[in-house]
Amino acid sequence: MKYKFSDLIDVDKFQKLMESFTEATGATTAIIDTDGTVLVASGWKDICTKFHRVHPETARRCTESDTALAGQLDKGEKYNVYECLNGLVDVAVPVVIEGEHVGNLFTGQFFFEPPDTEFFRKQASKYDFDEASYLKALSEVPVFSRDQIKRTMNYLSHLAELVGETGLTQKRQMETNEALRSSREKYKQVAENLRKEIAEREKAEKEILRLNEEFEQRIKKKEGKYLIFTLAGEAYGINILKIREIIGMMPITPVPSASDVVKGVINLRGRVIPVTDLRLKLSIEATDYTERTCIIVTEITQQNKDAEDIQSRMGIVVDSVSEVLNIKGKDIEDAPILSSDADTEYIFGMTKTEGEVKVLLDIDKILRHETISELCEVARAC
């Protein structure tokens, strides 16, 4: 190509964009040209910056991984997942401008499984790295699931396309400028083309920023405090803003003709509150109530037939209540993609704290319209 890849993108803008992405997700990123020159980098781990890219031999292996291995894209695939020559996992998305592979958009410096410490211990000995410092840096390398990386790469694949479009627009603008200098008689037509190219470039850049802002807003929307409770030994959570009260188990008055899910009603300081058993609603086997069994009084928002928001107080029976957690948006993963018949619409997201997975529920969807209608009928019947 006549122009360098670095001439075709605004490196400073993409550096800021990638830093925002790393801050929001914790993912390492880079944009590297086909010669191995790093144009943009964010969130790089010490094991790479202080060891692998410092020693001449491991640095050579880094460059080979960044260029030769990264370019081995399987037919029909949008990105390439590979193990770099120094033992870490990288993922590369090719950036193509007018059919020419000019660089790669990377995320990496992670593992899919806990690393083989002995392999890296031998590597430290071979290249005379300080073993303690090297293994400490190794311990800081994250382990991601393949589903996490798949979601990240879906975003980065779109971003790589926009990088290519931005580069193509810049390339055409530069070519237009050359034509302008060499052919004054075509000035008016060239100037018009230039304005169009600038508009296209600005449109592409705005789309990149929109995608990034949308990604950050989606993460921030989920963060907040969650009440954690248990069902059948598993931990679940509901946003604390949906909770109005937590009470110990008390007598529930059954209501004739109600479904098994609807346990009946309670009288809470003169107010009739319909109660449903969350175990049964989530298709979990019923169990006897214990001294730890609680009723969580929630406030549900639904729309009536006139599309107006209405609030209703409903009680849900849970095995026990454990704690309130303040969960960051970046620590909440999307619901997993299971089999086609698996019902995950109730799952708002998932998080992991102290080695335990907690399923975050959308209580509005759990007590959706038909359930709320039945509960309201139960309340009116009392």
Q: What is the CATH number of the domain that holds 373?
A: 2.40.50.180
Q: Judge if 215 and 317 occupy the same domain.
A: no
Who has greater pLDDT, 70 or 303? 303
Write down the pLDDT at residue 143: 92
Verify that 148 and 267 share a domain, yes or no.
Answer: no
Average pLDDT over residues 278-307: 87
pLDDT at 292: 95
- Same domain for 80 and 41, yes or no, is yes
Residues 206 and 232 in one domain: no
Q: Is the pLDDT of residue 342 over 50?
A: no
Domain count, the chain: 2
Domain containing 51 equals 5-222
3-state secondary structure string across the chain: CCCCHHHHCCHHHHHHHHHHHHHHHCCEEEEEECCCCEEEEECCCHHHHHHHCCCHHHHHHHHHHHHHHCCCCCCCCCCEEEECCCCCEEEEEEEEECCEEEEEEEEEEEECCCCCHHHHHHHHHHCCCCHHHHHHHHHCCCECCHHHHHHHHHHHHHHHHHHHHHHHHHHHHHHHHHHHHHCHHHHHHHHHHHHHHHHHHHHHHHHHHHHHHHHHHHHHHHCEEEEEEEECCEEEEEEHHHEEEEEECCCCECCCCCCCCEEEEEEECCEEEEEEEHHHHCCCCCCCCCCCCEEEEEEEEEECCCCCEEEEEEEEEECEEEEEEEECHHHCECCCCCCCCCCCCCEEEEEEECCEEEEEECHHHHCCHHHHHHHHHHHHHC
Judge if 203 and 193 occupy the same domain.
Answer: yes
Examine the fold and report which residue of 172, 199, 222 is the final residue of a domain before the chain moves on: 222
Which of 206, 222, 238 corresponds to the end of one domain?
A: 222
* Segment among 85-99, 197-211, 282-296 with least mean pLDDT: 197-211
Domain boundary pick from 222, 254, 270? 222
Percent residues over pLDDT 70 in the chain: 82
Same structural domain, 292 and 333: yes
Residue 331 has pLDDT above 90, yes or no: no
Question: Per-residue pLDDT for 116 more than 90?
Answer: yes
Q: What percent of the chain has pLDDT over 90?
A: 35
316 or 75: which carries more pLDDT confidence? 316
pLDDT at 129: 96
Banded model confidence at residue 341, pLDDT cuts 50, 70, 90: very low
For residue 126, pLDDT over 70 is answered with yes
Average pLDDT value for residue range 195-202:
81
Same domain for 112 and 124, yes or no, is yes
Residues 41 and 52 in one domain: yes
